[in-house]
Amino acid sequence: MTQDRVMLLIDADNVSVDVMEQAVHLLHKQHGGLHVRRAYCTAESAVTNQAAFKRLGIKPMVNLAAGKNSTDIALAVDAIDLVLAERPDVVVIASSDSDFAPLVHRLREKGCVVRGIGQLGKTGDETRDVYDDFTVLEHHKSEAADAPARKTRVRKTAAAKPATKAAPAKKTAAKKAPARKTRARKTAAARGAEIDLDLDFMPTPEPAPAPPPEPRARAERGGRATRGGRGASSERAGGPSLDTLLDCLPELAAGQSMALNVAAQRLRGEQLLSKGGSSLKLFAQFGERFELLPPDKPSQVRLRR
């Protein structure tokens, strides 16, 4: 194990958090430590991955510019400054993007060994050949994203049990006065609605299903879509509806722009986008509602107003 001074620069808009974590452990095992750990990302990505950055000791370098390749340019400028100031022996760039070739050549001229780390399925041969050596890591999907859904289902089941047990008591009370029409009130799960039940002729009602989450927010978005004449609440065949997408991506509903890779990661965590699915194609189904920026090489998405 050597004691080289090692600098890790991560294109966080290009590789997953799982690949970042694998890269940190791999380099620590090979070199005994990392002197510089920086991840270049958008503000949205920094917020989403802040727990992972803190755990891995990675310093997020937030890029507020939304232009084409703005994050790549920020990484390249910082890399030159760090090499001149820190004089590292090894510079590791974690990205599957081939645009860093000029930076790799320049760092090598400064006397650095330049290594690359990319994500399986994103890295082409033209990217690997540029570096002194290149390692491809496979992204492993975390099961943590499934935990909230399981937790919600358990809570709904527990909430439904009291309504089921309460029904026989109402029926027993009604038998004492068969000639009287009883006015019953459903549980909170039925949204406080009152209904008339003739318990002499009607069976005990089944407990009503729990209401959908955030009905007011859905109604407001639906109203805006109707006023715009775009039918935003309609279902697309074989895919999620616009309301479902906006529930998963509240930043878009609030009028903010969002990095495509961050949106794709969120959608896959909610199982709205398959592992090999394209977020570009999904948003293109709602082309009248979503705008992809820049048009020639989209990296951001926002909701049209």
CATH code for the domain in which residue 228 is found:
1.10.10
65 with 99, same domain: the answer is yes
pLDDT of residue 48: 93
pLDDT of residue 180: 53
pLDDT of residue 165: 52
Q: pLDDT tens, position by position, for the chain (305 residues)?
A: 557 899 999 999 889 999 999 999 999 999 888 999 999 999 998 999 999 999 999 999 998 876 678 889 999 999 999 999 999 999 999 998 888 999 999 999 999 999 999 999 887 777 788 899 999 999 887 644 444 444 444 454 444 455 445 445 444 444 554 445 445 454 444 444 444 444 444 555 566 665 555 544 443 444 443 333 333 443 445 678 888 888 898 988 888 888 888 888 888 888 888 877 888 888 888 888 888 888 887 888 888 87
In a domain, 204, yes or no: no
Say how far apart CA 138 and CA 141 lie, in whole Å: 10
| Cis amide linkage into residue 294, ω under 30° from 0 | yes
11 with 113, same domain: the answer is yes
In a domain, 206, yes or no: no
In a domain, 205, yes or no: no
In a domain, 19, yes or no: yes
> Helix-strand-coil percent breakdown of the chain, rounded to 5?
45, 15, 40
Say how far apart CA 265 and CA 271 lie, in whole Å: 10
159 with 185, same domain: the answer is yes
Tokens of 80: 């030159």
| Domain tally, the chain | 3
Q: Which domain holds residue 227?
A: 215-303
Residues in the chain: 305
**Does the predicted TM-score (pTM) go above 0.85?**
no
Say how far apart CA 240 and CA 234 lie, in whole Å: 10
237 with 177, same domain: the answer is no
Give which of 40, 102, 116 is closest to 71, Cα–Cα.
40
44 with 76, same domain: the answer is yes
12 with 125, same domain: the answer is yes
